[in-house]
Structure formats: structure tokens, C-alpha cells
């Protein structure tokens, strides 16, 4: 199992450009998440998807959109990138079938907006 | 979710036990204590969780006080690869809908050779 994979690993954008961060998991998990981590800070939730076909806002959703394409894939889109969105983005997944909610994280995408 | 307080940094000698404390004085009865760690530049990794009993797995032990207001994560024989930021998170058991993790600033554990 590859676990949670993210593409790209690194990206540099100019202000106003758009891009989509891709995330896929092969663990048959129902729930998927997008977090951002700014330097020296903990992770903050952007959006999550409790199950295929549903998405909900997290703590910091402004400037982002998401798509739960199928059970495996959950993408994060920046429509008009801003320097404040320079961050490391982590995707995670978890299963709802067990009593607790251990989350598995991908390796991250390092995004710089100039 | 209950707020947690952790020391910002700790050092530990290689081969010795690392004891990482966490205060969660406002924890409620249905909230679990989770520990994750984040090795530099990697995604966070789940370590262990517990409700009120002490727990042990292949990575660590979790000791929760009887009043549940604090806990300690124990890495029994720390190695250089255990150098990471350790996050203590308190949250309810998943109730059938996704529950996000709220990460604070954690404890930077440095294992010294």
C-alpha cells in the first residue's frame, strides 16, 4: 500500500494563478482532509470530506475549493493564489468503521506564492 | 474540544526514556487523548490514544492520570529518529462523521547522541 500520496511535492505560483493539489489514498478510507501548516505552527484544517459525495469547511476555508472525486481522491484548488497561501499542505485520510479516528497523512506539498 | 498545554521543547539522551507531558484540565468524559508526532518536513504520524486506562503499543506508552487532567507519553528507549514535534490532542470519539484534529504547537523533542 502506498498510503496517502500527494502531487506535486513542490510548487511555485505567481499571485493570481490557479492550481489544484491532488491527493489519493489506497486504504479504502471514507474520510479525507486537507490541512495547511505555516512555518513554526501546528496544522489547521481547510476542508474535509466525511464520505464520498460530501465536503465541509474546516477552520480556514477561505480562498480554497475542494472536490471529492471518488472514494480514493480528494483535490484542493486555489482559484487565485495569494502570498498568504504560501504554506505546506497536507492531505490525510481516516476510516469511520473503527471506534477511533486515526488519521494517516501524506508527505505534503510545499507551495510558494510570489 | 478541550485545550491542551505542552512544553515547547525537551531534550533526551539517546537510549533513555523520553517523557512528554500534556495538560488537559478541561477534558470532558467522552474525550480521548491522542498523540501524534511530526518528523521534520514529513506529515504527522499517529502514535497512540487512550481514554482513561494506560495504553501501550509498539511505539510508546500513554499514562493518563486518574482525574484525566494530564497525561504523559513515554518513549521507552529514545533514538535519534525520535527527534520530532509531538502533539497532544484531545477530542471526542468519532461519532460517525469526520472529526478533524486540532493541532496546537506541540513539544519539540530533541534526542541527543
pLDDT in tens, A13-64: 999 999 999 999 999 998 899 999 998 788 899 999 988 888 999 889 999 9
Number of separate helices (H) and strands (E) present in chain A: 0, 11
Which of A73-77, A98-102, B39-43 comes out lowest in average pLDDT? A98-102
Helix (H/G/I), strand (E/B), else coil: A83: helix
Q: What residue has cell string 482513561?
A: B52
Query: Would you call B99 and A101 a contact, using CB atoms and an 8 Å cutoff?
Result: yes
Which B positions 92-111 lie with beta carbon below 8 A of chain A?
Answer: 93-94, 96-106
**Of B46, B97, B100, Cβ closest to residue A45:** B100
B50 chain-A contacts, CB cut-off 8 A: none
Among chain B residues, the shortest Cα distance to A103 is held by B46
Distance, in Å, from the CA atom of A84 to the CA atom of A102, rounded to the nearest integer, reads: 30
Q: Is 90 exceeded by the pLDDT of residue B94?
A: no
Specify burial of residue A1 (Cβ count, 10 A radius: 0-12, 13-18, 19+): exposed
* A55 interfacial to chain B (CB closer than 8 Å): no
Q: Please count the residue pairs, one from chain A and one from chain B, whose beta carbons lie less than 8 angstroms apart.
A: 65
* A48 interfacial to chain B (CB closer than 8 Å): yes
pLDDT given at position A97: 45
Q: What residue has cell string 488519521?
A: A103
Query: Would you call B101 and A45 a contact, using CB atoms and an 8 Å cutoff?
Result: yes
Please state, in angstroms and as integers, the Cα–Cα distance from residue A54 to each residue in A71, B16, B26, B62, B101, following that order. 11, 46, 32, 34, 18
> Minimal Cα–Cα distance from B112 to chain A, Å?
21
Burial code (b: 16+ CB inside 10 Å, e: under 16) for A22-32 equals bbbbeeebbbb
Query: Would you call A43 and B44 a contact, using CB atoms and an 8 Å cutoff?
Result: yes
* B46 interfacial to chain A (CB closer than 8 Å): yes
Mean pLDDT on B56-82: 96
- The verdict on whether omega for the bond into residue A8 sits within 30 degrees of 0, i.e. cis, is yes
Which of B49, B59, B52, B51 lies closest to B18 in space, CA to CA? B59
Amino acid at each position: 500500500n502506498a498510503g496517502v500520496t500527494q502531487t506535486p511535492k513542490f510548487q511555485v505560483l505567481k499571485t493570481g494563478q490557479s492550481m489544484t493539489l491532488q491527493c489519493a489514498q489506497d486504504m479504502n478510507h471514507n474520510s479525507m482532509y486537507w490541512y495547511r501548516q505555516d512555518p513554526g505552527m501546528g496544522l489547521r484544517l481547510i476542508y474535509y470530506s466525511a464520505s464520498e459525495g460530501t465536503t465541509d469547511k474546516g477552520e480556514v476555508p477561505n480562498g480554497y475549493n475542494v472536490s471529492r472525486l471518488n472514494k480514493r481522491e480528494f483535490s484542493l484548488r486555489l482559484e487565485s493564489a495569494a502570498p498568504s497561501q504560501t504554506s505546506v499542505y497536507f492531505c490525510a485520510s481516516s476510516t469511520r468503521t473503527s471506534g477511533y479516528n486515526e488519521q494517516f497523512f501524506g508527505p505534503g506539498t510545499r507551495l510558494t506564492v510570489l | 474540544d478541550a485545550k491542551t498545554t505542552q512544553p515547547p521543547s525537551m531534550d533526551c539522551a539517546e537510549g533513555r526514556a523520553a517523557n512528554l507531558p500534556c495538560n488537559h484540565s478541561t477534558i470532558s468524559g467522552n474525550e480521548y487523548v491522542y498523540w501524534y508526532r511530526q518528523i521534520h518536513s514529513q506529515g504527522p504520524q499517529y502514535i497512540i490514544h487512550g481514554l482513561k486506562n494506560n495504553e501501550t503499543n509498539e511505539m510508546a506508552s500513554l499514562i493518563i492520570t486518574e482525574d484525566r487532567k494530564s497525561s504523559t507519553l513515554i518513549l521507552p528507549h529514545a533514538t535519534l529518529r525520535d527527534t520530532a514535534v509531538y502533539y497532544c490532542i484531545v477530542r471526542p470519539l468519532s461519532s460517525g462523521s469526520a472529526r478533524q484534529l486540532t493541532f496546537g504547537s506541540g513539544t519539540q523533542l530533541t534526542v541527543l547522541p
